[in-house]
Amino acid sequence: MSNSSTIFTGVNNKIMEFKSLIQLLDYFQDEKTCIEYYENIRWGKEPACPHCGSLKPYKTNVGWKCSDSDCYKKFTVKVGTIFENSKLPMRTWLAAIFLATSHKKGISSVQLASDLGITQKTAWFVLHRIREMLKQNKPQLLEGDKVVEADETYVGAKEKNKHKSKRKSEDNPLLTNDGSIYREKRVVLGLIERSGKVILKHVKSKEGEEIDDFIKSHVPKGSTIYTDEYGGYSRLKLHYSHETIKHRVDIYVDGDIHTNTMESFWSVFKRGLIGIYHQVSEKHLERYLDEFSTRFNARFLGHQDRIETFLRVSESYLSYKRLVA
């Protein structure tokens, strides 16, 4: 993927600059403009064959063709990206990316389908392909010179809100009252830099070494970490400057020590899951975590910069068969 900063000119040779969905649609009025825009972002001035990597393809009437005699395959800029094998116009795709990355709580497939005039099933697949792109942009390591807050939250329905048949059986805690497998709330662990980036992960349990391993893989040793007093964080002092805030006795701020930054993020996250998506399966939970974290981390970018940042890491193909397998 190219890091080119070449200025792209759109309709009537005007410099491409959009600050709203209306402006985006005004610029991308035809497929040719959209394709040229994406080619500029993906390749810059060096188009490359996605099959063999050759830098000497040549243009055809419908796309590109590799000039390497061992390859010689036809392709378009969509091959090997989230757009591959999609029949949707690129204009619709760009509008979908704009909407999915602009609303801090997300957008449902039902709403996206209504906004773009596509089916709900198509909108659901589009959103998952966008999440596939977003996960490529999530940070792998937080900065070691910043304070990091760590906290956990739970995803799933409250026991009191469940239908009686879906509540935990008193006779067998592994089953519900109707005999199906009982599913505990899922645990999500979050790490956040103050005024910085957030990283999320679904962990199987608050117990054991999974929390330690996750934190050690994303926070440099020697960093300062603030948590609540949960015992699962007790071993952090071996590798970090670790301070705790005592929520159990209603202390939420002690000088600079608090986890309010992470709590604020959880507030937006929960409202998105409950108010927009309503429920999320465990199978796809990580995808939604990537969506919320990456969108949050790009919150200071303008609309165009944000979309172009994500498009530069869109070389990740996701088939419907793999998604629903």
Residues 198, 309: Cα–Cα separation, whole Å: 17
- The answer to whether residue 157 is domain-embedded is yes
Determine the pLDDT at residue 151: 94
Q: What is the domain extent for residue 251?
A: 148-297
Determine the pLDDT at residue 112: 97
Query: Rounded to a whole number, what is the distance in angstroms from the first to the last CA of the chain?
Result: 28
Residues 244, 226: Cα–Cα separation, whole Å: 6
- The answer to whether residue 189 is domain-embedded is yes
CA max distance for the chain: 72
- CATH number of the domain bearing residue 217: 3.30.420.10
- The answer to whether residue 264 is domain-embedded is yes
- The answer to whether residue 213 is domain-embedded is yes
Determine the pLDDT at residue 198: 95
Determine the pLDDT at residue 266: 96
Q: What is the mean pLDDT of the chain?
A: 89
- The answer to whether residue 193 is domain-embedded is yes
- pLDDT tens track for 11-60: 444 556 788 999 999 999 999 999 999 999 999 989 999 999 999 999 99
- pLDDT tens track for 152-198: 998 876 666 667 777 777 777 767 787 777 677 888 999 999 878 99
Give 239-295 as a DSSP string: TSEEEEE-GGGT---BTTB--HHHHHHHHHHHHHIIIIIS---GGGHHHHHHHHHHH
For 135, which DSSP code? H
- The answer to whether residue 263 is domain-embedded is yes
How many domains does one find in the chain? 1
- The answer to whether residue 155 is domain-embedded is yes
pLDDT at 4 over 90: no
pLDDT at 265 over 90: yes
| pLDDT bucket at 6, cuts 50 / 70 / 90 | very low
Residues 130, 80: Cα–Cα separation, whole Å: 14
| pLDDT bucket at 281, cuts 50 / 70 / 90 | confident
- The answer to whether residue 24 is domain-embedded is no
